[in-house]
Each structure stands twice: as structure tokens, then as C-alpha cells.
Copies of this chain bind each other. A is one copy, B any other.
Amino acid sequence: MKAVGVVVEYNPFHNGHLYHLRESVKKSNADIVIAVMSGYFLQRGEPALVSKWERTKMALQGGVDLVVELPYAFATQKAETFANGAVSILDALHCSYLCFGSETGDIAPFLHTNEFLQKESEQYEEYIKHFMQTGVNYPTALSLAYQKISNRKDTLDLSQPNNILGFHYVKAISKLNSNMIPLTIKRYKAGYHDKDFASTSIASATSIRNSLFDQNADISSYVPNDTYTILEKYKEQYGVFHQWENYFSFLKYSLLTMKEEELKSIYEVEEGLENRVLKLIIDSHCFQDFMEQLKTKRYTWTRLQRLCMHILTRTSKQEMNLINQHETSPYIRLLGMSERGQEYLRSIKKNLKLPIISKVSGFHHPLFEIDLRAAATYFMIFPEPLRSRLLKTEYTTPPIRMSY
């Protein structure tokens, strides 16, 4: 049995994801698909729309065979760390392929760029530092540095978010000396930055989320029926699609009761940002308001959202530094599986390169502590007794099994 891996957030799972899944199977000719998926908080520094269990169901119903969690410590980071964590998990699960979406659908430029940058890495790093010092944000510095050193025609446009991720998957595979073969498929319609619906059946997750928060918009044409049902049911049962505004009181409380020393110890708090957030939070009425005041040219919106998220989950530099040396996940948390996924898991179980968490309360790892805090934070917005019930699900929910 051969497996193809995909790296996803499924926030929510939509027709574009379904297309990507099917194309990945076609391209790889693999027997099963493994998705490594972010948990409760996402790369852009936001809470997921619905819980990871609901998103796992969406994935399984869409055709994924194994859903495993990308730990918070990787899921909420810049592309490089994000990719390293995801690739290390797919590699540990013996995936033969990793398939990602890209603008052109051609893998060659990714491979060339990786080789090229390995050769030129010193020069590249120097340029990045140089551009950071001019006051631009990190992604811009990467892009400018890259422009400086690249003159070959077959290299990538690294200003495209999806190309950056793809590049880091390829880089992580080669860094890990993994046998996984990277594949890419052309992204279908709907650019990453689209805010409005295209008149097709594929729309970006961003535009779907915006529609969900705007009660009147209908998203049924852009997501599979199963996703639609799960989303409807979640809203009905829990009354909410999670967004930052729901957490603003906890962020404010957290900030205003944090000692200066602890605030400075929070991951991504640096260069006097602690003074800015403290000064601005007291008078901010909502998260949007707070972020708009906080935003400067120096930092991207995403970078600042992540900072807020780490304050909310009280994630420290010291904890995150635990991943900096190896950048491989120390464990695998299984969220769901199809019958074929289960069969595959049985076949590789003896050769697993990482431990699978079987009992949450019995597993201890400093990075897993962050996952547990993130789960607790995610459910904190609910009234009792719903909150207590949901808080316990993190400890009691077995991997979701789906039969055909």
C-alpha cells in the first residue's frame, strides 16, 4: 500500500480541497491519502471555524484515509517551521509522496530552487538580514533577497504564498533525507487572496469563511454536501463559528494580568512589542480595533495575529525553542481514519518513526502541553455546562472511524 500525504487546514473543507485530493491520488497513483491537519489554531494566528473533530469528519467524508494533527508548535508558525513539522509527520507515517498545490503545477522549479538556494544559502541569508534591517516585513525580505540572487528562468516566484509553502515542503524533504517524492498539482481557480466568490464551484476558504460570518450568504455551491451539513449542525448545536472576536475578553484579561516578565517570555514578543500591546489593549473595544491599532509596516497582520494567539494560549519562547533544533514533531496524534486508513496503519505500525498518542491523559511532552492548552482555550468561549463537556472531549474522543 502506498500513501500520498497532503498538508491541510480544512477551514472549512471545500470543493477546491476535494479537487486537490482527487488530483493527488491521480498524480501519485497512491492507495490511500494521509492528511496532516492543523488543530484548533491555524497558521494565520486564528482559531479554526469549527473544532478539529468536525474538520476531521469533513476530511474523511471527502476521501482522506488518515487524519493526523499538526501540533500547535508547528501549525502556528511561518512556512518553514510549518512545513518541517508537517513533513516530519508524513515521513514518519511512511508516505511515498507529498502532493501540494501550486500556481503552475510544475515540480521542476521547486526542485531547482531548493538546489540553487542550498548552494547560495549564505548569500541568501545575508540578503534577508539586510532587507529586514531596512524595515520591511519578513515575507517581503525573503522575496527581495531571493530576487537579488536568482536570475535563472526556471526558479520560482517566491512572492506567492503557495509557492513559499511548496518550496519549504521540498526543502524539508531534502533536509530530512526522506524518500518521499514531492508532487505538485495546479491550483484550480480562486486565487489565494480572493475575497469574493468566483462564479464557479470553487472559492477560497477565506471567502467561504467571510460568507459564513455574514449570515445571509449561501456557501452550498462551494463545499461538499457533507461539509455543509456539518457546518450547519455545528452552528445549530453550538451557536457559533469561532473567530477572534469571541476570544477578545480572554486576550484582554490575559494581557492585563500578565507580569511584564511573562509577557516578554511569550513567543513572538520582541523588540518592544510588549509595550505596544499593553498600551493599546486597555482602550481597544474589539479584536479588529486592537489589530488595526497594532499594525505597522514592520509586521504583517498574520505575524501580529500569531503574537496575540500565543498570548492567549500563553505559549512561551522557552516552549517553542524545544522544536528549534530538529524541527520534527515528537509525536503523532491520530484524529480519524477510514477502513483503508486503519489497514494501512496496521501495516506500518511496527516501523513507525514517531510515537502515536493512544491515551491523551497518559501522554506527556512539553509540546503536547501546548496542544492541551490550545484545546482548553478554544472551548473557553462556551457557556456552562457545554464548556465543561467540550473541554473533556479533548481527553475522551477516540479517533473518528469512518466506513464506506
Contact = CB atoms under 8 A, between A and B. Distances in A.
Interface of A: 249-250, 252-254, 256-259, 262, 282-286, 312-314, 316, 369, 373, 376-377, 380, 384-385, 387-388, 391-392
A258 B314 contact: yes
A284 B373 contact: no
A256 B380 contact: yes
A373 B313 CA distance: 19
A250 B312 CA distance: 12
A280 B310 CA distance: 25
5 contacts: A253-B376, A253-B377, A256-B380, A257-B314, A259-B369
A285 B253 contact: no
A380 B253 contact: yes
B282 A252 contact: no
Contacts of A380: 249, 252-253, 256
Given A314-B258, A314-B259, A369-B259, A284 B253 contact: no
Nearest to A377: B257
Contact of A285 (B254, B259, B316, B385): B385
B282 A373 contact: no
Given A257-B373, A313-B257, A376-B257, A285 B250 contact: no
A369 B259 CA distance: 8
Contacts of A387: 252
A282 B252 CA distance: 22
A388 B285 contact: yes
A286 B388 contact: no
Given A250-B253, A253-B253, A377-B253, A391 B282 contact: yes
Count chain B CB atoms within 10 A of each CB in A253, A262, A377 and give the residue with the most.
A253
Given A252-B387, A253-B253, A253-B377, 8 more contacts: A249-B380, A253-B376, A256-B380, A257-B373, A257-B376, A262-B262, A284-B388, A285-B388
A373 B256 contact: yes
B258 A384 contact: no
B314 A256 contact: no
A369 B257 CA distance: 9
Nearest to A366: B259
A157 B313 CA distance: 50
A284 B253 CA distance: 21
